[in-house]
Amino acid sequence: MVTAGLAGIGMALPPQYEQDWLWDNVFRAHFNGSRIAARMFDTAGVARRHSTTAPFELADAADWSTEERMRRYAERAPALGLRAVRQALAAAGTEPDEIGLLAVATCTGYGTPGTDIELARTLPLRADARRLLVGHMGCHAAIPALGAVADYTAAHRRPAVLLCVELTSLHVQPATRDIDQAVVHALFSDAAAAVVVRPEDGPGLRVVDVAARTDTVRRGHMTWRVTDLGFRMGLSPEVPEALSEHVGPLVKDLLARHGLDRSEVAGWAVHPGGPRVLDAVAAGLDLAPSALDPSRKVLAEHGNCSSATVLLVLDEILRAGPPDGPIVMLAFGPGLTLYAALLA
């Protein structure tokens, strides 16, 4: 049976800024010196993060129209994505003309022709290569998108590429007293991450299965609204509790379909939505404190890069050497939606 194997991961990161520096030089004035906002920045679990929007631009970005933000996305995202894809292809030993499908996941910028077309031109891809845009799903988009490219690869026996490219810095919102906006501005970051999957019938890390769980009753707990001044995130403080409730049944069902138990999982690539989210996932799965160290490290070093983040965590795990057992990927987004993938 031909399955989809993970052949290479690549990432591209824009300039990095210290969290304390961003607070002192940009966001202290933005939040009018609010002590509550300062505490949100201190407790976000982020030491440094990345931004394609320079600090001198961030001060003005809150007043940019959505059109202006999309123009800047179109200027910056393709080059960042190209770096990540080329790195992933090199790691996989795969040439661009082998690729049968390119999937691009993003929730921070739109336009047609877009990033997928620019990559098809600059890599270049073959004229018959398929393209898929996974848009506005939020932080969990990498996992359903990975499922799509894996299904394609297994069915057509051709390599495929997934690129997640997010420029969250383009969506700085006008000054407000809302605590949830202080949390959002303290967490989010820019990044691109790509993964190449190839048809495999031998050993190696394969995409075995993907599962989802959606709590529509709590659909308003996490939102990502398009406004005249960019995209505005809504984030309820009840999100961690909801995730803790759902993550256990989601993972149990996924593993049971393949005769596995939670104790057999060797690695947890969990999207670091924030320290409280990671604590809630650990509690919901009854994990040892060290099980989510890769997620906490990525949060500290890169911030929350929306859909790209879970791939950064997976890369962090694999850099330490392939675990002796399966890996579970987990990510969360608006809906309220949880996605999980089993890699083995």
CA-atom Rg of the chain in angstroms: 19
Question: Model pTM?
Answer: 0.96
Per-residue tens of pLDDT for the chain, all 344 residues = 678 999 999 999 999 999 999 999 999 999 999 999 999 999 999 999 999 999 989 989 999 999 999 999 999 999 999 999 999 999 999 999 999 999 999 999 999 999 999 999 999 999 999 999 999 999 999 999 999 999 999 999 999 999 999 999 999 999 887 788 999 999 999 999 999 999 986 567 999 999 999 999 999 999 999 999 999 999 899 999 999 999 999 999 999 999 999 999 999 999 999 999 999 999 999 999 899 999 999 999 999 999 999 999 999 999 998 889 999 999 999 999 999 999 99
Contact 187, 168 (CB under 8 A): no
Residue with tokens 């989210």: 277
Q: What is the reported pLDDT for 177?
A: 77
User: Furthest-apart CA pair in the chain: how many Å?
Assistant: 60
**CA dihedral (108, 138, 42, 62) positive or negative:** positive
Architecture of domain 3-200: 3-Layer(aba) Sandwich (3.40)
Beta-carbon count within 10 A of 175 CB: 15
Please state, in angstroms and rounded to a whole number, the distance separating the CA atoms of residues 250 and 268.
Answer: 14
Alpha helices by DSSP H, listed for the chain, are 19-22, 28-30, 35-42, 55-61, 66-92, 115-122, 142-156, 179-187, 239-256, 275-285, 293-302, 309-319
Which of 253, 281, 260, 280 is CA-nearest to residue 269?
281
Q: What is the reported pLDDT for 203?
A: 61
Residues designated catalytic? 139
Q: How far is CA 274 from the centre of its chain?
A: 13
Beta-carbon count within 10 A of 116 CB: 22
Q: What is the reported pLDDT for 17?
A: 97
DSSP 146-202: HHHHHHHHHHH---EEEEEEEEGGGGPPPP---HHHHHHHHHB-EEEEEEEEEEESS
Give the up-direction half-sphere exposure of residue 337: CA atoms within 13 A in the CB hemisphere. 17
Q: What is the reported pLDDT for 202?
A: 58
Beta-carbon count within 10 A of 180 CB: 15
Q: What is the reported pLDDT for 88?
A: 98
Q: What is the reported pLDDT for 180?
A: 83
Task: Report domain extents, the chain.
Answer: 3-200, 207-343
Contacts of 254 (CB under 8 A, 6+ apart): 209, 211, 328, 340, 342
Q: What is the reported pLDDT for 201?
A: 62
Q: What is the dihedral of CA 45, 273, 231, 87, to 10 degrees?
A: 90
Q: In CATH, which of 3.40.47.10, 3.40.50.10210, 3.40.50.300, 3.30.310.80 is domain 207-343?
A: 3.40.47.10
